[in-house]
Amino acid sequence: MRTRHAGAAVLAALTALTLAACGDSSEIGADSTTTDPEQADTNDAGDTIRIGIKYDQPGLGYQDGSEYTGFDVDVATYVAEQLGYSEDQIEWVEAPSAQRETMLQTNQVDMIFATYSITDERKESVAFAGPYFVAGQDLLVAEDNTDITGPESLEGKNLCSVTGSTSAQRIKDEYAAGVQLLERPGYAECVTALTAGQVDAVTTDDIILAGLAAQPANQGQVKVVGAPFSTERYGVGLPQDNDVCEDVNAAIEQMIEDGSWEEFVTANTEGTGYTPNASENPPSVDACA
């Protein structure tokens, strides 16, 4: 009997803790929704902005211990600064691909910088500012590979991409004849398969591949082919009923004008010889809806 009581007590304590945790997070949510753009320039020191980024894409959005690095992080920090938030007022939140719309709709984040392509389907549930970068699907191959020069030379090759991603779908739909596709949950696993020689190329957006190639462990082993065969316009994901879209666009324009944009690109792809597709970059922003 005694043990049963103890068990019940533990259960009750756990329930109380869980409920308390729920209460806390909703309070935080309520607090930070009061980020009104008029106030933004003069906001109090305690006010924060919650920005969704990837945590697992080196060179773009990457959690390195307690530090966050990458192109998306640099752009987000710059835009936040223009909106009146200093670096320590930014609260980074992980925004995995499949959850991005939900996180914006349920107000878990204020904006998302996470290799977020602007598409018409997504515009039905969220709003976009930007684009701040135009990427294209490209190929990452072994350093000594010379026979893969672009999508037309993939006949009979083995490819790797992330499960269910748009890159994987494009290969299945348009290049399926003669191409075998390995789908893994993350790009790092694809690079493992590439360096082990089990696949000939990894495919996704060029800047993501450049970020992977810039990793110390991969340097000198892999290279980006540099023949993009799609256009992915990376935008800033915002809730549909936002009032900051124009301010974000102005910040992006200023970032491109004052040279910070170019600086961020070079800093995050250093040592890979990667240059963004010059005919599309730097992009001009779309008008806000």
Partner 1 sequence: MGDYLSQIAELFSQYDIVGAFWVNIQLTFWAAILSLVLGTVLALMRISPIVSLQWAGAAYVNVLRNTPLTIIMTFMVLGIWTQLQISLAQDFATNFFRFAVVGLTIYHAAFVCEAIRSGVNTVPLGQAEAARAIGLPFLPAARLIILPQAFRGAIAPLGNTLIALLKNSTVAVAASVSTETATLMREMIENNSSVIFGIFFIFAIGFVILVIPIGLLTTSLSTRLAVRR
Residues within the interface to partner 1 (CB under 8 A): 97-98, 100-102, 121-122, 124-125, 158, 163-166, 168-169, 172, 180-185, 189, 192-193, 196-198
Of 54 and 184, the one with the shorter C-beta distance to partner 1 is 184
SS3 percent helix, strand, coil of the chain, rounded to 5, is 40, 20, 40
C-beta of 49 vs 114, nearer to partner 1: 114
- Residue 212 Cβ vs partner 1, minimum distance, rounded to whole Å: 16
Residue placing its CB nearer to partner 1 in the complex, 123 or 266? 123
Ramachandran assignment for 210, one of left (phi > 0), alpha (psi -120 to 50 degrees), beta (any other): alpha
In the complex, the smallest distance separating the C-beta of residue 269 from partner 1, rounded to whole angstroms, is 25
Q: Are 229 and 111 in contact (CB under 8 A)?
A: no
* CA pair distance 138, 153, nearest whole angstrom: 13
Q: How far is the CB of 194 from partner 1 (least distance, A)?
A: 10
Q: CB 277 → partner 1: shortest distance, Å?
A: 23
Q: Which is nearer to partner 1, 239 or 282 (CB)?
A: 239
Least separation, in Å, of the C-beta of 107 and partner 1? 16
| Pairing of β 232-238 and β 127-135 | antiparallel
Q: With respect to partner 1, which residue has the nearer C-beta, 180 or 215? A: 180
User: Of 185 and 271, which CB lies nearer to partner 1 in the complex structure?
Assistant: 185
DSSP 8-state assignment for residue 60? T
Place of tokens 């890979």: 272
DSSP string, 213-276: HTSTTTTTTEEE-----S-EEEEEEE-TT-S-HHHHHHHHHHHHHTTHHHHHHHHHTTTTT---
Residue 289 to residue 116: CA distance in whole angstroms: 17
**Cβ atoms within 10 Å, residue 202:** 30
| Least spacing, CB of residue 198 vs partner 1, in Å | 5
